[in-house]
Amino acid sequence: MSTKYGKLQQQFLCCYPVNKMAWSSVKLPLNWEDQQELAIPVRRSYLGGLPQHLMHLLGDQEICTTIIQRLCGPMAENKASTGSSTYAYKHYLLEPGAHITLRESTSFVAEGTTGLCTWEAALALGDYLLQHRDLVRGKNIVELGAGAGLLGIMLKLPALQLQVGQVLLTDGSEPCVQLMRENINLNFPDTPKEQIPQAEQLNWAAVSKFPWDSYAKTDLLMAADVIYDDSQFDALLGAMDYLYSRRGGGLETLLASTVRNVDTLHKFMTQLGDSGYKVTPCANVSACASHFCRDHTAAVQIISIRR
Ligand SMILES: C[S@@+](CC[C@H](N)C(=O)[O-])C[C@H]1O[C@@H](n2cnc3c(N)ncnc32)[C@H](O)[C@@H]1O
């Protein structure tokens, strides 16, 4: 990565919104060499991402899933009919020598799930874990609603030397599990199975049917952007209750949520309290040094949950 335009290149490669890129790092006039350096190949469709603009326009406001489905569904069909791909590769450059490539959907909702692309809360939790490496060192980790698989892949990346134990990524959506496995293979070619994250289908409502005995006992649960649909709260709490009961004391959950609707988050917090959980906000989340290119428009809240 060039140091002069390193930030811009990092942002281009992970499809960061064009209007929010670090353009101030470009000092005019540009000589020929600088222009060449800035000529980074970018997908045309990413430049005009209507759903992205909508998300930014709405800011903190809660976004109705139906609107997103209506907006993104026809767009996806249209792309399919013209032969364009609805997936793109994003490259997350974290540190020198440490990068992740993910195949992700270009739509926020696709194939009946919101999990085929990476959301801000996952990026924020990734930053938080990289700032607090002791939270994951030596731990066996399970992620609920893991989507495209970014966090688990990050945790096992050899260049980051996080020294985590077993990492199990789960999601209720079959397309997400397929995508996670594809992304794991992409980032860990020729790596022994014991050293890479595992990906399995787990619907929270069916947590007791999962073959937990085939995996190491869980030390840390994590979940990003799973608190948006209150019809799923009981299932999520049921899954947590099951795992906390299995593990006994000592299990911690790190939950990262984009603050879109305060009432929705508050409702989940209340249910957590009613179920006997102790919630501690994680300090200095917004002050975390950013390894990921994050858009800070909407705040992300990270909490630690113990019982
Ligand atoms: C907004 S996405 C977040 C994905 C990823 N954690 C991220 O932040 O990029 C929510 C994820 O939760 C999963 N999910 C929602 N309800 C679920 C349930 N009842 N059981 C398991 N997974 C569920 C979805 O399939 C989706 O992958």
Q: Is residue 29 domain-shared with residue 165, that is, in the same domain?
A: no
Same domain (yes/no): 103, 17: no
Question: Which of 104, 114, 268 is the best mutation target for the ligand 1 pocket, counting ligand atoms within 8 Å of the beta carbon and taking the most?
Answer: 114
- Closest Cα to atom 17, ligand 1: which residue? 172
Q: Which helix (H) or strand (E) holds 68?
A: helix 65-81
Q: Is residue 50 part of a domain?
A: no
Residue 56's contacts (CB-CB under 8 Å, 6 or more residues apart) are 17, 295, 297
User: In terms of pLDDT, which residue wins out, 271 or 290?
Assistant: 271
* Per-residue confidence (pLDDT) for residue 36, from 0 to 100: 62
The pair of three-digit structure tokens given for residue 129, joined into one six-digit string: 């874990």
Residue 203 Cβ < 6 Å to ligand 1: yes
Q: Tell me if 242 is assigned to some domain.
A: yes
One DSSP character per residue, 120-165 reads HHHHHHHHHHHH-GGGTTT--EEEES-TT-HHHHHHH-GGG-----
**51 in a structural domain:** no
Structure tokens at 276: 């006997």
23 HSE (CA, 13 A, CB side): 6
Ligand 1 atom closest to residue 171's alpha carbon, by position in its atom list: 22
pLDDT band at 13 (very low <50, low <70, confident <90, very high): confident
Q: Can you count the helices (H) and strands (E) in the chain?
A: 10, 9
Over residues 98-104, the mean pLDDT reads 95
Residues 218 and 289 in one domain: yes
Q: Cα–Cα distance between 47 and 39 in angstroms, integer?
A: 14
> Do residue 29 and residue 72 come from a single domain?
no
* Claim to verify: residue 164 and residue 197 sit in the same structural domain: yes
pLDDT given for residue 83 in this prediction: 44
Same domain, 82 and 216: yes
Please tell me the predicted confidence (pLDDT) of residue 271. Answer: 98
CA dihedral 263, 269, 273, 277 (to 10 degrees): 170
Residue 47 resides in a domain: no
pLDDT of residue 174: 97
E strands, 188-281, are: 198-201, 220-224, 252-258, 278-281
pLDDT in tens, 254-284: 999 999 999 999 999 999 999 999 999 997 6
Residue 146 Cβ inside 6 Å of ligand 1? The answer reads yes
pLDDT at 82 > cutoff 50:
no
pLDDT at 75 over 70: no
Q: Is residue 216 over pLDDT 50?
A: yes
Average pLDDT over residues 234-243: 98
Ligand 1 mean position, distance from CA 151 (Å): 13
Beta carbon of 226 within 6 Å of any ligand 1 atom: yes
Specify the pLDDT at position 35: 64
Total count of domains within the chain: 2
Q: Over range 194-209, report the average pLDDT.
A: 97
pLDDT given for residue 5 in this prediction? 79
Question: Is 96 in the same domain as 172?
Answer: yes
Residue span of the structural domain in which 11 resides: 6-42
Task: Say what the pLDDT of residue 282 is.
Answer: 93
Q: Are residues 178 and 267 in the same domain?
A: yes
- Sheet bearing 167-171, strands edge to edge: 198-201, 167-171, 141-144, 220-224, 252-258, 300-306, 278-281
Position 37 scores a pLDDT of 67
- 152 and 70 part of one domain: yes
Q: Are residues 22 and 90 in the same domain?
A: no
With a 6 Å cutoff on the Cβ, whether 169 touches ligand 1 is: no
Least confident of 48-62, 131-145, 228-242, 285-299: 48-62
Shared domain for 22 and 110, answered yes or no, is no
State the pLDDT at residue 19. Answer: 80
Co-location of 76 and 36 in the same domain: no
For residue 48, tell me if it sits in a domain: no
Residue 137: give its domain's CATH number. Answer: 3.40.50.150
Q: How confident is the model at residue 63 (pLDDT cuts 50, 70, 90)?
A: low
